[in-house]
């Protein structure tokens, strides 16, 4: 609703409008400064957990960077664990019991699903995240915003044998997550092909600090869009 203060003298009318706009702007600033941050649970693997970064660089993990770059808009809750595949529904259920409330859920899985490949690897990954979204909305409410984060690309020439991650299957999972996100009325962020090779020089799978910044910026952009519609 627009309020217009009518005055006999034009100068007084302009002054009244100016004072109103100043008051409105100040009110918006105060609200922004004291608004509670939106809580964001991230259920992910070692890339989200940040454990592959050197101890002195753990604060560069993308989850920490998102919270820092958001200037208080988001409170990130890290429920990630190294080695976790999408086939972790009991762990997800336990997480829901530990966390009675959240505003947004991010599911950041898929990389560890490619350790053992079958004809059903991609289908199983999709089924698992689909069940997670359904469980979360039963727990937190049917309108819970959910972001499916696709698994990032790897660097084959620096890949350590212990990780045994399959790049082509990661790309298929990424594409499949995008499709199921639309079916579930969820958001999707693709990370496949986003991480530069220079950020994967360590072990071919876990991004370094700058690589985590790339992820943080992509996730924050999506979170900000959701917050604007929240």
Percent of the chain with pLDDT over 90: 74
pLDDT of residue 160: 77
The answer to whether 114 touches 154, Cβ cutoff 8 Å, is: no
In order of 22, 141, 144, 164, 195, the CA distances from 95 in angstroms are: 46, 16, 16, 28, 29
pLDDT reading at 32 higher than 80: no
Percent of the chain with pLDDT over 70: 83
Tens digit of each residue's pLDDT (9 = 90 or more) over 45-63: 999 999 889 999 999 999 9
Structure-model confidence comparison of residues 127 and 229, the more confident one:
127
pLDDT of residue 1: 46
pLDDT of residue 116: 87
Going by C-alpha positions, the residue among 133, 109, 132, 136 that lies closest to residue 121 is 109
Domain 37-229, second-level architecture: 3-Layer(aba) Sandwich (3.40)
pLDDT reading at 179 higher than 80: yes
Tens digit of each residue's pLDDT (9 = 90 or more) over 77-118: 999 999 999 999 999 999 999 999 999 999 999 999 998 889
**pTM for this entry:** 0.84
pLDDT reading at 145 higher than 60: yes
């Amino acid at each position: 609703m627009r309020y217009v203060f009518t005055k006999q003298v034009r100068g007084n009318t302009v002054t009244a409008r100016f004072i109103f706009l100043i008051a409105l702007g100040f009110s918006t600033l105060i609200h922004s400064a004291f608004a509670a941050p939106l809580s964001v649970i991230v259920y992910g693997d070692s890339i989200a957990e940040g454990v592959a970064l050197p101890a002195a660089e753990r604060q560069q993990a993308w989850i920490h960077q998102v919270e820092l770059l958001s200037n208080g808009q988001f409170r990130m809750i890290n429920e990630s664990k190294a080695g976790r595949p999408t086939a972790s529904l009991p762990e997800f259920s336990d997480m829901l019991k530990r966390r009675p409330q959240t505003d947004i859920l991010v599911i950041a899985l898929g990389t560890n699903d490619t350790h053992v490949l079958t004809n059903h690897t991609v289908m199983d990954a999709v089924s698992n995240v689909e069940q997670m979204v359904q469980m979360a909305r039963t727990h937190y409410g049917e309108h819970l915003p959910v972001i499916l984060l696709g698994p990032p690309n790897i660097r084959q020439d620096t890949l350590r044998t212990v990780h045994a991650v399959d790049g082509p299957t990661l790309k298929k999972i990424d594409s499949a997550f995008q499709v199921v996100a639309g079916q579930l009325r969820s958001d999707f962020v693709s990370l496949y092909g986003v991480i530069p090779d220079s950020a994967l020089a360590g072990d071919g799978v876990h991004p370094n600090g700058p690589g985590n910044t790339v992820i943080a910026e992509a996730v924050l952009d999506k979170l900000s869009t959701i917050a604007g519609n929240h």
